[in-house]
Structure 1
Amino acid sequence: MAVEVLLLVVGLMLAAVVLVGVGDRLRLPWPALMVLLGVAVAAVPGLPDAFELDPELILPLFLPPLLFATAQRTSWALFRARWRSIALLAVALVAVTITAVAGTALALVPGITLTAAVALGAMVAPPDPVAVEAVAGSVRMPRRLLSVLQSEGLFNDATALVVFQTAVLATVQGGELSAPGLVLRFVVGAAAAVALGIVFARAARWVADRVTDATGRSALTLVLPFAVYLAAEELHASGVVAVVVVALQLRSASTVDEAADRIVQRSFWDVVELLVTGVAFGLIGLDLRQVVTAAGPDLPRMLAHAAVVCAVVIGVRALWMTGAWLVVRRSADASAAPRTGREAVVMSWCGMRGLATLALALALPTTTLDGAFPARAELVVIACSVLVVTLIGPGLTLPVLVRALGVQADADTEHAAELAITQRARHAALTRMAAEERSYDLPDEAVAALHERMARLEAVLRGAPATSDERDRFEAVRRGRQLAAKVQADALAAAREEVLAARREPGVDPEAADRVLRRLDLRTVLLD
């Protein structure tokens, strides 16, 4: 049994690596291909049942590392600038979707109670942050749209989980839902999670400062999301919010002297994210088999009801994004989205459900104090149907839709964002170098060598590679002129400090800052 599970995990990891290449060639998001692969494998006759997921382990195993990886790509400044969008999408839209789905379920599903219908709404309401990042992140669309989708996905699970847990508890114990109680629980849970995330981030910084090995510090970042998620859940706070806060806090506390750490951790987390995402989406496809088995002969009727709920979920999001477009198009904020009807269509289509929906559906209890959980099998079928429709459909068609509507990444805009940060970094470096040239009595040849090196800084920050001859010359100068190397190191430190400061400012794209910072880090490590 254990060997079979191990073989499955290894096989899914290998499949993820292969499908990344296949997805690039076909221009399709590879996570959607992983789900299809999982479904195909699950349909193989005679496959043992050892591959069923324990619902209680789905979120704690997969959500913390993937949330942490996604949250590292954004910043506190971006959240402060977009708090209205986050509130409208991650709270208000989730609440409206829960209400619409609950009303639909009450009208369609025989024997369902109000609290069970609300639980269904909470299962299917939040677009999954992992699914949105995995699918939309691989499609060339404007950074404005992607950053809004990322912000929505990082916080909407917190809203849905509070509603789901309260609704399930009321169903099991025969109680009633209280709107003020739900709001109070959400606010208290979110506040506790924020405090916990800040405490864990500070503790992690304290530990990292005393670990001399870069590999050890990278390993700490892998353990941290699991630790803070589990601690938050034990304290009945939001594990999702706690993980996001700890990632944002650590990223904002990054210093100019951590160039090597940033390079190691970026590569480390790219690998972790790829493998964990592959296993998670593959297991989603595999686990759909038990849903079909549990439905039995009533599956066609359940699927008909599920089709109506899917239409409601998609329709509510489309109407909401249309309203957002009518408001945002008059906004003076150039970074707001959606600004056009085409962008509203793309954002409506990016409401992918994923791990959270599956985990909550399978976590429904089988019994209550009064007997069986109302319409449990049908609720699971409906939830998984919404997952498949909103994930596979957009996953396979989003690249085509983006190209057809002409809502593609504006290369000139992205280049301008990077260029502005590059110019700030270059100015900071040259200012520091000029100041230190006056402080040190450098020989003329050392000054000339410094200016020769720094002349290429702007090109390096834009991504132009250095030639092998240039690297040899840089290394020879480094060995022969230690003072010159010291001045250049200080200049590059000033450039990194300026980029980190820019990353924390409202209106600055964190992704653009990270690209410039990575080139500076690589340059620093190369010359060190």
Structure 2
Amino acid sequence: MQILLVVVGLMVATVVLVGVGERLRLPWPALMVVLGAGVAITPGLPDGFRVDPDLILPLFLPPLLFATAQRTSWALFRARWRTIALLAVGLVLVTATAVAGTAWLLVPGIAVTAAIALGAMVAPPDPVAVEAVAGQVRIPRRLVSVLQSEGLFNDATALVIFQAAVLATVAGDELSPLGLGVRFVAGAAGAVVVGLAVAWLARRVLGRLTDTVGRSALTLVLPFATYLAAEEIHASGVIAVVVLALQLRAGADADEAAERLTQTSLWNVVELLVTGLAFGLIGLDLRQVVTDAGDDLPRMLGHAAIVCLVVIAVRVLWMVAAWRILRRTPGVADAGAAPVTGREAVLLSWCGMRGLATLALALSLPFTTATGEPFPARAELVLIAVSVLLVTLLVPGFTLPALVRALDVDDEAEAEERAEREIVGRARRAAMATIQFEQQVRELPAEVGTALRERADRLAAMLAGETPSEDERQRIAMVKTMRDQMAQAQAAALAAARAEVLAARREPGVDPHAADRVLRRLDLRTVLLD
């Protein structure tokens, strides 16, 4: 009962801190870290509270990866696969190697494999933290999507390294680089197959479910089932969940307006509560880690500070090198690559926020080896991982708005607004074409066609964020008298507009985030019409 009260209390505190963050214009993930630190020193909480390490990854990663992956698209990955590969694989490997070497030199008696496990823990930036922190600042969506894409796939790289290093530490074996490479490729290929298969099966089942609540409940279960199925065949559960989300989003039906609204709200709540609970749990575990450290705490904190500097320095050097290479490559900016300017290099370096992946991997470290001995330097490894999380999340979280203003990197905002207006224009043209067809086929009166076109114009203005005037409200009241004749034609026009936006979302070069914003407004309009 005491543990249940702690979990409920952490969820309530999460909701409260999100509201506080909105009022103070502060990123809520940074406040979650502050909450975790507060939980760590709160008297009266259970000292023996522990989460089974085997449950950490399956409980926390699948829902958050699924929620984040739904905000992107296959077209975006195809257009930016080089950048994603360099960040999600190359940067993770370099960071893990640098941190492992540093830890092996600093921590007395640590095994090489345990040091590699630490490197894998702190290497991957977190897409959830990036979206929550960077999404509240006027950062170009191109850069945010690069950071999100990096975060979706770097977890897979880090997880393969981490699991192999932990198994080697527990069994007392050595790591084989060739074996790691083969395992990563095989695990990724198997994960893609699992993700596509589950998506296909889910589409068949969803096609036979008519209840919106039941369909939403199924999507809530799918990430966990996909993750477990992939892990059961020794494939990457992370990649399988991401592929599942991308494939389900790619096959979305234009007529699923109410379902999209319901599922968006559901996943926003799930993402919020799971993240808040996770950062609260790190506070509980951190207190035990500090207790285990005892008199060695100052020395461990010194080592943690050095590792934090290494993590930051590696990312800065990598981004600067990438910028110098990309600026000499023609056409990379049009393809969405980043960084292409020095300001973007600084911003991407500063946005290497660690989050749930680092947290989950740190908590999932086993307590003992196969011989029953304590896992080497576990308390210090967890303390270092949490320190990296705190530094890379809190410092950027509270300073990013000032940095964006100083760098003046929001000059792409107008271009992004133009991209959204282009999608609105495509939706309007599709609606107008359908209205003209309906008027010809159904022989609607001329005044009905005129009213429909006026309503389509008002819809386009609403999608662009404009507020209707008083005269427009009066005209809306007059048009209601012809609702019976207009309803079917308007529903068809909205369906055509939604289909066009979904088609645009699948095209290379189209920002999925902009398309999703337009689609949400169309969905809301459709639900209100119903």
Q: Is TM (by shorter chain) over 0.5?
A: yes
Q: Take 1:443 and 1:471, find their aligned partners in 2: how far apart are those partners? A: 18
Separation of aligned partners in 1, 2:7 and 2:378: 29
The root-mean-square deviation of aligned C-alpha atoms, in Å, is: 1.9
Alignment of 1:372-391 (within 5 A): 372-391=374-393
Tell me what 2:367 maps to. 366
Aligned to 2:35: 37
Aligned to 2:414: 412
Closer, same or farther: CA 475–375 of 1 in aligned 2, 3 Å: same
| Map of 2:207 onto structure 1 | 209
**8 Å CA contact retained: 1:163, 1:182:** yes
1:107 lines up with 2:105 in the alignment: yes
Note the C-alpha offset of 1:432: 2.1
Cα distance in 2, alignment partners of residues 105 and 130 from structure 1: 27
2:78 alignment partner, one of 72, 77, 80: 80
In 2, Cα distance between equivalents of 1:375 and 1:41: 24
Cα displacement string for residues 411-465 of structure 1 (whole angstroms, at most 9, x for unaligned residues)? 3122101111111111111122222322222222322322232232320221335
2 CA distance for matches of 1:409 and 1:472?
41
> For residues 527 and 261 of structure 2, what CA distance do their matches in structure 1 show?
9
The offset of 1:15, in angstroms, is 1.8
Residue number in structure 1 paired with 2:317: 319
Q: Distance in 1 between matches of 2:295 and 2:476?
A: 70
Q: Residues 245, 446 of structure 1: CA spacing in aligned structure 2 closer, same or farther, 3 A cutoff?
A: same
The structure 1 residue matched to 2:193, chosen from 192, 195, 203, is 195
Q: Which residue of structure 2 lines up, in the alignment, with residue 162 of structure 1?
A: 160
- Name the CA distance, whole Å, in 2 between partners of 1:363 and 1:351: 22
Task: Using the TM superposition, name which of 465-474 and 128-137 deviates more.
Answer: 465-474
Matches for 1:301-320 after TM superposition, within 5 Å: 301-320=299-318
In structure 2, the partner of 1:14 is: 12
Partner of 2:177: 179
Amino acid of the residue matched to residue 426 of structure 1? R
Instruction: Kindly provide the amino acid, as one letter, of the partner of residue 347 in structure 2.
Output: V
Letter aligned with residue 482 of structure 2:
V
Describe the superposition over 1:124-168 as per-residue Cα deviations: whole angstroms up to 9, x where unpaired.
111122322332233321101100000000010111111111112
Superposed CA deviations along residues 167-219 of structure 1, whole A, max 9, x for unmatched, are 12222222221111111100111111111111111111111111111111111
SS of aligned partner of 1:438? helix
Q: How does 1:488-527 map to 2 (within 5 A)?
A: 488-527=490-529
In the other structure, the counterpart of 1:401 is 403
8 Å contact from structure 1 (residues 284, 355) kept in 2: no
Question: For residue 27 of structure 1, what is the aligned residue in structure 2?
Answer: 25
Q: Which moves more between the two structures, 342-351 or 313-322?
A: 342-351
Q: 1:478 aligns to what?
A: 483
Distance (whole Å) between structure 2 residues aligned to residue 58 and residue 439 of structure 1: 59
CA distance in structure 2 between the partners assigned to 1:401 and 1:456 by the alignment: 39
Higher mean displacement: 330-339 or 225-234: 330-339
Q: Cα–Cα, structure 1 residues 50 and 222, in superposed 2: closer, same or farther, change >3 Å?
A: farther
CA–CA distance in 2 between the matches of 1:23 and 1:35? 12
Contact kept? 2:423, 2:515, Cα under 8 Å: yes
Which one of the candidate residues 409, 432, 435 is aligned to 1:433? 435
Unaligned 5+ runs, structure 2: none
SS of structure 2 residue aligned to 1:216: helix
> Which residue of the partner structure matches residue 341 of structure 1?
342
TM-score by length of 1: 0.94
The match for 2:226 is 228
Counterpart residue number, 1:350: 351
The total of aligned residue pairs comes to 523
Which residue of 2 is the match for residue 138 of structure 1?
136
TM superposition shift of 1:112: 1.7
> What secondary structure, in the 3-state scheme, does the structure 2 residue paired with 1:446 have?
helix
1:89 to 87, 90, 93: 87
TM-superposed deviation, 1:57: 2.0
The one-letter code sitting in structure 2 at the alignment partner of 1:225 is: P
Deviates more, 1:15-24 or 1:416-425: 15-24
Residue 367 of structure 1: SS of its match in structure 2?
coil
Contact 2:60 2:274 in 1 (8 A): yes
Tell me the CA shift for residue 409 of structure 1: 6.6
Amino acid aligned to 1:162: V
**What is the CA deviation profile of residues 278-298 of structure 1, one whole-angstrom value per residue up to 9, with x for unaligned ones?**
222222233211111111111
- 2:358 maps to a residue whose letter is T
* Identity over aligned pairs, percent: 70
Greater shift in the superposed pair: 88-97 or 121-130: 121-130
Distance in 2 (CA, whole Å) between partners of 1:307 and 1:48 is 29
SS at match of 2:410: coil
TM-score (norm 2): 0.94
Q: Per-residue CA shift, 1:393-414, capped at 9, x if unaligned? A: 2222222222222223743122
